[in-house]
Amino acid sequence: MVYEALVAACARVADSHHWLAEADLGALHEPLAQVRATAEQVLAEFETAQTLTRQAADALAGATTHVATVVRRLRGEAPGGAEAWVAGLTELRQVQGHLITPKDMRYADTDRIDELVADVERDLASFGQRAVTHLAHEDAFADHRADIEQLVADAEAEPIAARLDEHADILRTVTDVVSGLDIGDTTVRTSALERIAEVLGGVNRARATLDGRRRRLRDREGRAEFPRSSRCSARRSPVPSRRPAPPGLRRTARPPAGAGGGPGVPVRRVRRLPRRVGGQA
């Protein structure tokens, strides 16, 4: 390569003519060093471009293989239920989205990627038209409804909410695909969308039921925790008892400020004398 030869030539000149660095000659080594640095920078950028091109080609090859595998399998099989049709539509949509990753890479073959995207769109439309015919049946999503009801009845843990979210995401994907299909009989598409909307409504109701159960559980736990904490604080902080005054003693009121001994005078205890007979003390 030209730049590799240029770097080597600069190195040979610098080694053979070491006197170029002498100040009396006007620092002739500096232009030589600049030429060498520029050539090395070009070589580094070229190596980076080669690496990125290879990575983009590998990503495109992997995406092409994955697309071919999925399309070949979906073309050759006849899904037996709504869940299988929905899974096929979702997988094709995901494959279509995965093609965006290599397209965003530098030095990617965008023309080839656009061809793959167009092929996947045609396969998605073809598979979607086959799916709509099945999904328009009244009982097409019976298994989904039963699964959602079972999820709500089973437990209240986080995995249940995650499963409901998964159902909702899949059904929204199918809605987007079916809505974008070019179908001659619009009643079939409308019927399929209505079935999907019913199942989505069931997912939302199940999520609301689950949230209500969680709120009630938190309320019960809060009410159970409050009296327990109150009893613990009562045991830790007993009320001090007052000792009764000895018999025959009475307390005198503390004199007000400025009277008698002032506010610092302690309380005096005065013993009561027995009263004599006859009314005289």
Q: Which residue has the tokens 């030869």?
A: 5
pLDDT in tens, 151-167: 666 655 557 777 777 77
pLDDT in tens, 182-209: 776 677 778 888 888 888 887 888 778 7
Pair of tokens at residue 98: 């995965």
Predicted TM-score (pTM) of the model is 0.53
d(CA 181, CA 188): 11
d(CA 69, CA 62): 11
- Rounded to 10 deg, the angle between the 82-98 and 110-135 helix axes is 170
- β 269-271/249-251 pair status: antiparallel
Looking at beta carbons, which pairs linking 65-71 to residues 24 or more positions away fall under 8 Å? Answer: 66/95, 66/98, 67/95, 67/99, 67/116, 67/119, 67/120, 70/95, 71/95, 71/119, 71/120, 71/123
d(CA 258, CA 120): 100
Dihedral angle, C-alpha 76, 147, 125, 136, nearest 10 °: 100
Tens of each residue's pLDDT in the chain, 281 residues: 787 888 888 888 888 887 887 777 777 788 888 888 998 999 999 999 999 999 999 988 988 898 888 888 888 777 777 778 888 888 888 888 888 888 888 888 989 999 998 888 888 888 888 888 777 777 777 777 777 777 666 655 557 777 777 778 878 877 887 777 777 667 777 888 888 888 888 788 877 877 777 777 777 777 776 655 555 555 555 555 555 555 554 454 455 555 444 455 455 555 555 555 554 44
d(CA 124, CA 51): 34
DSSP conformational letter for 271: E
* H-only helix segments in 17-81: 29-76
Q: How many CA atoms lie within 13 A of 130 on its CB side?
A: 18
Helix (H, G, I), strand (E, B) or coil at 136: coil
Q: In degrees, to the nearest 5, what angle opens at C-alpha 75 toward C-alphas 73 and 171?
A: 85
Question: CB under 8 Å to 255, separation ≥6 — which residues?
Answer: 261, 262, 265
**Residues 10, 35 contacting (CB under 8 angstroms):** yes
